[in-house]
Amino acid sequence: MENENIPCWTIDLPVRRRKSREVMVGKLAIGGDNPVRIQSMTNTDTMDTKATVEQCLRLVDVGCELVRITASNVQAAENLYNIKNELSRRGCDVPLVADIHFNPKAAEVAAAIVEKVRINPGNYTDRNTGKYDYTEQEYADELQRTADRLYPLIQVCKKHSTAMRIGINHGSLSERVMGRYGDTPYAMVMAAMEFINICRQMDYNDLVLSMKSSNVKVMHYATRMLAAMMQQEGFDYPIHLGVTEAGNAREGRIKSMTGIGSLLALGIGDTIRVSLTEAPENEIPVARQIREAYSHIGISGRGDVTLKLKPEFRIRRTPVDIASCRQFSLSEHSPEEILYALKNEPVAARIVQGKNKEISTARLAGDSAALIMESAVETLELNDSELTADILQATGERIYKAEFIACPSCGRTKYDIQSALEQVKKRCSHLKGLKIAVMGCIVNGPGEMADAHYGYIGSREGKVHLYRAKQLVCSNVDEKEAVDRLVEMIKQDGKWQEE
């Protein structure tokens, strides 16, 4: 769905970091002049106090500053109390975040226990019923109903000084919001603005915002548009960054480096999470590499660049003579400097790695992606051609192989998703152009698998549902047979290619 009347904003992209207010999450300050904070999420059963505490401790040991735990129902929310107490008994005071979907009551219970709650406006109160068209009055009534449902949580948060993340996921926008604003980054921003305004009506400002998607471009543009819209409204809430369902191994890491790095490179972002379909502890070293790559932001600025920010993607596809491209080296120029140079002289740019200094993989990925998002790159030539290809694939600029969308799993996952993803990748990586989603649960999996051609989604203990696009094709397949059944389905559809 497209919306013709989407406005266009201008944002002053800060070479220095975007100015945000400081929000306290327990003793941890997010935003302001504080370092970019690193967070992760457990994937244990929240009712298993021992396993969850052990995983929290392992995360803290490697540098995680904030741990999110799913609270899928009131009982799980209540068990956060035991988890918190046990952590404290073991000398760990890491702030905890309760992750809430579909259950306001669980949010209200958790908000009295932990330092922060993450809610998803797409499913906090809205239920999808197939209704997209709302009259002005119906829309206003629904918004009031949402506010009425959110007020009790805000009251608990205010009473206990609990922070809140309004976490938008592209894959779980409500039909109400999509009917009005389209299935667009703009709709993601407007969904967040509705919730911000409800919080502000109650003078509650301990907010952090996020715009996540498995699509790096959607995540990048939605976050920039959020920053622009907040600037316009005079709001300065911190922003959390992450590419959701990034997968595992090298692909998952490069995807996160492009999505998160492309925004940090422009001075946007106060806290980050790298989501990998691996042990959560593996996420932290990658997040630290990304933070390190952009530790200079906020220290050495050279002026502002004003760029038009439109909600649609702007990909220039005019053929150019490479020899006439202006060459920029990432080892000598920051993305801001390159964009500044190109601002008044819209020529095609040839981006090379350069030889003057060592640049980390995270910095190469983030800087390249920031320029790709501005359509400022005609050719990207890094010293490592495999890395160049991976960056282009991660940002959706070129497709060389199959793409895998895989969630990091959480307490809702009841099958071995890590091994399933490995097997699916082993069998299907060569299927160029196919998108396959491997997701942990049917609560969020079908929505979050985005535009994948096939879905492999955990349904219950050891069982998997198989989807063709959004259509459920095989229910509750034993996980031992599910990869073979998926391959059969792809073959039947005539989409199999021999390696």
Name the one range near ligand SF4 by CB under 6 A: 56-64, 228-236, 437-445, 489-497. Answer: 437-445
Q: Which of 437, 441, 452, 466 binds ligand SF4 (CB under 6 A)?
A: 441
- Nearest distance in Å: CB 401, ligand SF4: 23
| Count of residues engaged in binding ligand SF4, rule: CB under 6 A | 13
- Answer yes or no whether residue 439 interacts with ligand SF4 by CB under 6 A: yes
Give the integer Cα–Cα distance in Å for 176 and 169: 15
When asked if residue 440 is in the footprint of ligand SF4 (CB under 6 A), the reply is yes
Considering the rule CB under 6 A, would residue 412 count as an interface residue with ligand SF4? yes
State whether residue 334 is helix, strand or coil. Answer: coil
The piece of 6-14, 302-310, 379-387, 434-442 that touches ligand SF4 (CB under 6 A) is: 434-442
Q: Is 103 in the site for ligand SF4 (CB under 6 A)?
A: no
Determine, following the binding rule CB under 6 A, whether residue 410 of this chain makes contact with ligand SF4: yes
443: contact with ligand SF4 by CB under 6 A: yes
Burial class for 159, CB neighbours closer than 10 Å (0-12, 13-18, 19+): exposed
For Cα atoms 395, 401, 404, give the angle at the middle one, nearest 5 degrees: 70
- Return all residues near 33 (Cβ < 8 A) that are at least 6 apart: 22, 298
Rounded alpha-carbon distances, angstroms, from residue 411 to 147, 395, 440:
28, 29, 9
| Run of H or E including 207 | strand 207-212
**Residues 6 or more apart in contact with residue 134 via CB below 8 angstroms:** 142, 176, 179, 180
- From the CB of 184, what's the least distance to ligand SF4, in Å? 22
Q: Which stretch binds ligand SF4 (CB under 6 A): 21-29, 289-297, 322-330, 410-418?
A: 410-418
Q: Are 305 and 374 in contact (CB under 8 A)?
A: no
CB of 240 to ligand SF4, least distance (A): 16
Residue 167, interface with ligand SF4 (CB under 6 A)? no
413 sits near ligand SF4 (criterion: CB under 6 A): yes
Q: Minimum Å distance from CB 453 to ligand SF4?
A: 18
Any residues with CB less than 8 A from the CB of 420 and at least 6 apart, and which?
Answer: 438, 456, 464, 479, 482, 483
Q: Is 42 in the site for ligand SF4 (CB under 6 A)?
A: no
User: Minimum CB separation from ligand SF4 for residue 439, in Å?
Assistant: 5
Burial degree of 27 (CB within 10 A; 0-12, 13-18, 19+): exposed
Binding residue for ligand SF4 (CB under 6 A) from 444, 454, 459, 479?
444
Shortest distance, position 426 Cβ to ligand SF4, whole Å:
21
The residue (of 192 and 410) whose beta carbon lies closer to ligand SF4 is: 410
Under the binding rule (CB under 6 A), the answer on residue 169 touching ligand SF4 is no
**Buried-exposed string 257-295: b where 16+ CB fall within 10 A, e elsewhere:** bbbbbbbbbbbbbbbbbbbbbbebbbbbebbbbbbebbe
Residue 444 beta carbon to ligand SF4: minimum distance, rounded to whole angstroms: 4
| Beta carbon of residue 405, minimum distance to ligand SF4 (angstroms, whole number) | 10
Structure tokens at 314: 């702007």
By CB neighbour count within 10 A (0-12 exposed, 13-18 middle, 19+ buried), where does 191 fall? Answer: buried
Nearer to ligand SF4, 377 or 436 (CB): 436
Classified as helix, coil or strand, 124 is coil
Q: Which range of residues in 150-158, 184-192, 266-274, 403-411 is near ligand SF4 by CB under 6 A?
A: 403-411
| Nearest by Cα to 225 from 274, 275, 191 | 191
CA angle at 150 for the pair 149 and 156, rounded to the nearest 5°: 115
Q: Which stretch binds ligand SF4 (CB under 6 A): 8-16, 181-189, 264-272, 436-444?
A: 436-444
Which residues of the shown chain bind ligand SF4 in the complex (CB under 6 A)? 407-410, 412-413, 439-441, 443-445, 448
